[in-house]
Every structure is written in structure tokens, then in C-alpha cells.
Amino acid sequence: MFCAFDGAPKILRLYGRGRAVALHDAEFPTLLARFPGYDRARAVIVVELSRIADSCGWSIPFFDYRGERDQLRRWIDHRPLEEWTARRYASNAKSIDGLPALVPPEAD
């Protein structure tokens, strides 16, 4: 669901099925190339939409957008790629509800 916090009021809902394409998947580099400037990501989420719906959004309040935060970018940029990759697998091995998440390629 997306909400317009500025401009015309609108709510957009996207329905479908998604899948995570992880660091070691063959299609990962091609998908990540669609996001210039983001050369490090733990996964790219691909969603195949089956329905798109919108509504008025009249109840959505206004919010002022002040810009992107750069803290994550600064944290990532000074770490070697190997260290960053190992940490992604170590700290994302399970989801917050305990389900299996990122699995390193050698464990496949």
C-alpha cells in the first residue's frame, strides 16, 4: 500500500506474489543494475502484480518530506565487500519471527 502524503490525496494498493532474489542468485546482478547507486543490497524483491487498486485517500494527513537519510549508506560504504557480504548472511539468517531467511550459497 502506498499513500500520498503530499499533493492530491490518493491511496494505491498493489496485490500479487513476491519473491526475494538474494545476493548469490544468478539474476541478482541484472536486477540490482536497475537501481543505480545501490551496489550493495541483501536482496531484490520481485513482485508479479495481479491487481492494482486505488482509492481517494481523503483521510491521509500531510507530511513534509525532508529527504533520504544517509546513515546506512555511510555505514556500508567504508566496509570491504567481503565483510559486508558475510555480515548480511550472519545477521539475516533468520527473519524476526524465526523463519529461515538468507542462506549462503555454500549451504544450498
pLDDT in tens, 5-29: 888 999 999 999 999 998 889 999 9
Query: 88 pLDDT exceeds 70?
Result: yes
Q: What is the pTM of this model?
A: 0.67
Asked if the structure places residue 6 within a domain, the reply is yes
CA atoms within 13 A on the CB side of 52: 4
Domain that holds residue 89: 2-58+69-102
Asked if the structure places residue 107 within a domain, the reply is no
Asked if the structure places residue 45 within a domain, the reply is yes
What tens digit of pLDDT does each residue of 25-75 get? 999 999 999 999 888 888 899 999 999 999 999 988 988 888 888 888 888
Query: 106 pLDDT exceeds 80?
Result: no
Q: How many domains does the chain have?
A: 1
Q: Quote the pLDDT of residue 10.
A: 95
Neighbouring CB atoms inside 10 A of 102's CB total 19
Asked if the structure places residue 108 within a domain, the reply is no
Asked if the structure places residue 13 within a domain, the reply is yes
Decide: residue 23, CB within 10 A, 0-12 exposed, 13-18 middle, 19+ buried: buried
Rounded Cα distance, 26 and 90, in Å:
21
